[in-house]
Amino acid sequence: MAQSGTSKLPEWLKVTPDVAALNRAAADEFVRCAKDAIGARGRFTVALSGGNTPRAVYALLASEYTTVLPWEKILVFFGDERHVPPEDAASNYRMANESLLSRIPIPPQNIHRIRAELDAEQAAAQYEETLKTVFKPGTGELPRFDLVMLGMGTDGHTASLFPDTQALQESGRLVVANKVKKLGTERITLTLPALNAAAEVMVIIAGENKAEILDRIVHSRGTIEFPIQLVRPQNGRLLWIVDRQAAKLI
């Protein structure tokens, strides 16, 4: 993947020439993580991102990698969910199911969706219990996803950690309901402790509309302005894959 512009980019940021190359790079990274995790621990735990950008990555995984991975050893989770039922057009689960999950031989019991048809707090509490049941973290430990996939909004949010929302302050829980005033809705989201416990976080960002905020983040000189800058795996890898359109100002 090319380095953008003349200034040296952070080592965690990779630029691809176009969105097709971004999709390929993200799919290849997903497969690499999966094979490493399955080879080391017999299973791969991944939290999928919502939004639109990952749809093409999921479709690529479904169309070209179906036979490449032992999907029965892959456990799928979600980084966040809108407060809607799974059949709703806004549902992240629906997007992932249409583009990937319904097109691969993954056992249904391996798919752990956030039950966002429930009261948001109840959905968050249930999902937190699911994480604890599946990961069985030791005392004082957190569930450690092998891979967390994230996107970034034009306001610097990621998952459903939006600027100036309560969830950003959460330091104890893994999953919370988060009131997002600017959207006039509640979301259910993994918290920063849950995200930052991951073995790898892969952020995928495409499109000219992300260029301005990406420029501010890359040239922030350590100033934290946006929620996504708080996602830094304590003992894991951070990888941002961005296309040239999103990287045009850096």
Rounded to a whole number of angstroms, the minimum distance from the CB of residue 90 to ligand 6PG is 8
Nearer to ligand 6PG, 136 or 208 (CB): 208
82 Cβ contact partners less than 8 Å away, ≥ 6 residues apart: 50, 88, 90, 91, 92, 116, 160, 185, 187
Residue nearest to ligand 6PG (CB): 151
Measured N-to-C along each axis, helices 19-41 and 53-64 cross at an angle, to the nearest 10 degrees, of 60
Under 8 Å between Cβ of 24 and 14: no
Q: Is residue 99 a contact point for ligand 6PG (CB under 6 A)?
A: no
Q: Of 210, 212, 197, which is closest to residue 241 (Cα–Cα)?
A: 210
Shortest Å distance, C-beta 192 to ligand 6PG: 13
**8 Å CB contact between 90 and 82:** yes
| Least distance between ligand 6PG and beta carbon 138 (Å) | 29
For position 23 contacting ligand 6PG by CB under 6 A, the verdict is no
Applying CB under 6 A, does 92 fall inside the site for ligand 6PG? yes
Tell me which residues in 60-89 interact with ligand 6PG (CB under 6 A). Answer: 79-80
Instruction: Report which residue type is found at 45.
Output: T
β-pair partners for 228: none
Q: Do 30 and 48 touch, CB atoms closer than 8 A?
A: no
Site string for ligand 6PG, 135-174 (x = CB under 6 A): ----------------xxx---xxxx--------------
Cβ proximity to ligand 6PG, 94 vs 106, nearer residue: 94
Amino acid code (one letter) for 89: A
Residues that bind ligand 6PG in the complex, under the rule CB under 6 A: 49-53, 79-80, 92, 151-153, 157-160
